[in-house]
Structure 1
Amino acid sequence: MNPNDIEIEIKLPLKNPEEVIAFLQKKAKLLAKNTHQKDIYYTPKHRDFLATKYPYEWLRLRHSSKGNCITYKHYYPENTKVTDYCDEFESSLDNISVLEKILTSLDFKTLAVVDKNRSTWDYKQVEVAIDEVKDLGSFIELEAKRQFPTPQAAKEYLYEILEELHAQVGKEELRGYPYLLLAKKGYQFGE
C-alpha cells in the first residue's frame, strides 16, 4: 500500500508462474516467500456490499504467517466494471479472533474466504505478488509503490513491468478474489 492510502494495482491469471518466479529470483528483491494468507471478507447487515452489480467496497480480516490485519477497500469510480484505484485502510491486529467475535456480534456476515499462498518481490518500485489461490489457480498482482501523476499513468507503468517479466497472462481480473469465488458459486450480484 502507498503511504497516501491509495492502492493502484493490476491482477491477472498467470499461466507461467515458474518462469516469472525464476526471473524475479534473479532480478528482484524478495520480500516474502510462500506466505500463507487466509482472507475472510465481511459485509455489514445494514449495508450489503454485494447489493450492486459491481461491488466497490470490501472489508477483510487477514490471517497470515506474517501477521494479522484488517483492511477496508473502496474502489473508484463506484459500481463500474473498470476501476482506476482504491482507498485502502489497513491496520495490524494483535488478536484477530476477538475482532471476529465483535464482527459476528454486530451482525456482520461472512461473504467469502480466500485461501492462498503468496510470494512477493520488489522490482522497479513495483510490488510483484505471485498467488496460488485455492479453487482459482495462479495469479500475478502488480502494485505501484511510487507516486504517479494519474492512476492511468500508474497502470501503464504496471503493464510495462508485466511485459518485462515475460508473464503469460489471461484477461485482467477487475473484481478480485472474493468476487471470483462468489461468482464461481453462482452468486447473483445486485444491480
Structure 2
Amino acid sequence: MQYTEVEQKYQVRDTAVLKAVLEERGAKPGPATRQVDTYYNAPHRDFLALDTVSEWLRLRESDHGDSINYKHWLPAEAVIKTHCDEFETPVEDIEALRRTLQALNFTTMITVEKVREEWVLPGLVEVAFDAVTGAGDFVEFEFKGEAVDAQSAITQLDAFIADLGVELGERINRGYPHILLGRDH
C-alpha cells in the first residue's frame, strides 16, 4: 500500500472536543504549517472534462519543504471515491518545476491556501486539521497502518473514526480544489 492513500474528510465547526479525545489516546500535535497547493491541468488530458474529477497534479509549497504530487482517485467512475493512487516526492527547486510545467503547456486550475495542524497516532492514523482559505475548517483522517489492500484500510479507518465517539459534522467526499472550483464531484 506504499502508493495508495485512504482518507476521510469532514467539515468541522469546533475542533476542541476531537483534539481532547485525540490527546486522551496519545496523539501528539505538530506545529501549524502554512501550505500553498497549486493544481495543474494537463495539456494531453483535461482533468476537469469528466463529470467526476478523478485526477490531480499538485505542486505544494510549505514551511517544511516543497513537493509534487499526482493523485488518481478510485473507483475512477464513481462519484464517491474510496482511495487513490498517490505519487509524491520532494522538490528541490519548485520554481524550476513550475516553469517546466508551464513550458509543457500545463495550466493552473486553482491554488488552495491552508494552515494545517497534523496529529499523529503512531502506526495507525494521521489526523490533519485544515483551515482552508475560502472554504472553512476541515479534519482529514489518513490511514497510516498496515493493510493488505485498500478495502482493509478503509474498514480499519471507518472503525477508528467510529470508535472516537465524536460528532464530526458533514463528511466531505471531494477535495479542496473541488470545493473552491464549485464542483460537486
State the Cα deviation string for residues 95-149 of structure 1 (Å, max 9, x = none): 1011111111111111111111111112261011111111111111111112324
d(CA) in 1 for partners of 2:10, 2:49: 25
Look up the match of 2:151.
152
Look up the match of 1:9.
7
1:115 aligned to which of 108, 113, 116: 113
TM-score normalised to structure 2 length: 0.90
d(CA) in 2 for partners of 1:22, 1:102: 45
Q: Residues 155-174 of structure 1 correspond to what in structure 2 (within 5 A)?
A: 155-174=154-173
**Structure 1: gaps of 5 or more residues:** none
d(CA) in 1 for partners of 2:184, 2:151: 30
Tell me whether 167-176 or 54-63 shows the greater mean CA deviation.
Answer: 167-176
Secondary structure (helix, strand or coil) at the match of 1:55 reads coil
Shift of 1:31: 5.6
Identical residues among aligned pairs (%): 36
RMSD (Å) for aligned C-alpha atoms: 2.0
The answer (yes or no) to whether the contact 1:14–1:168 under 8 Å persists in 2 is no
C-alpha distance 33-51 of structure 1, shift in aligned 2 (>3 A):
same
Secondary structure (helix, strand or coil) at the match of 1:130 reads strand
TM-score normalised to structure 1 length: 0.87
> How many residues get paired?
184
Look up the match of 2:77.
79
1:96 aligned to which of 73, 91, 94: 94
2:137 equivalent to 1:138: yes
Secondary structure (helix, strand or coil) at the match of 2:96 reads helix
The answer (yes or no) to whether the contact 1:120–1:130 under 8 Å persists in 2 is yes
State the Cα deviation string for residues 7-52 of structure 1 (Å, max 9, x = none): 1111111122122223334433436221111100001122110111
